[in-house]
Structure 1
Amino acid sequence: MDASTRAWIQGALIRAARQQLLVRYSDFHALFGDADSLRRRFELLEQVVHELADPAEADYGALMANAQGLPGPEFFRRYRVLRADEYETIVGGNAYARPRLTQRTAIAVKERHHVYLHASRHWSIRPDLRAWTLELPVSPDRRAGGP
Structure 2
Amino acid sequence: MIIEEQLPAVTALIQKAASDSDSVAFNALYALFPKKTPAQKVHATLEAACTAIADLNTAIYAVVMVKKDTGLPGDAFFVTFKAIRADEYATIAGDTPHLHLTPAQKQLMVNAEKARVYLHAKA
- Specify if TM > 0.5: yes
Residue by residue, what CA displacement relative to the aligned partner does 1:38-94 show, whole Å, maximum 9, x if unpaired? Answer: 111111111111111011110100000102111111111110010000001111x21
Structure 2 residue 13 is matched with structure 1 residue 12: yes
Structure 2 residue 79 is matched with structure 1 residue 77: yes
2:29 paired residue number: 28
Provide the secondary structure at the position in 1 that maps to 2:120.
Answer: helix
The alignment's C-alpha RMSD in Å is 1.3
- Hey, what's the Cα distance between the residues in 2 that align with 1:66 and 1:96? 20
Give structure 1 stretches of 5+ with no counterpart. 122-147
TM-score when scaled to structure 2?
0.90
2:53 paired residue number: 52
Give structure 2 stretches of 5+ with no counterpart. none
- Hey, what's the Cα distance between the residues in 1 that align with 2:30 and 2:108? 25
**Runs of at least 4 residues off by over 4 Å:** none
TM-fit CA distance, 1:23: 1.3
- Hey, what's the Cα distance between the residues in 2 that align with 1:43 and 1:51? 12
- Hey, what's the Cα distance between the residues in 2 that align with 1:8 and 1:19? 16
2:119 paired residue number: 117
Higher Rg of the two aligned structures = 1
CA contact (8 A) 1:53 1:60 kept: yes
TM-fit CA distance, 1:95: 4.7
TM-fit CA distance, 1:104: 0.6
- Hey, what's the Cα distance between the residues in 1 that align with 2:45 and 2:27? 16
TM-score when scaled to structure 1?
0.76
- Identity fraction in percent: 29
More helix by share: 2
Amino acid at match of 1:42: H
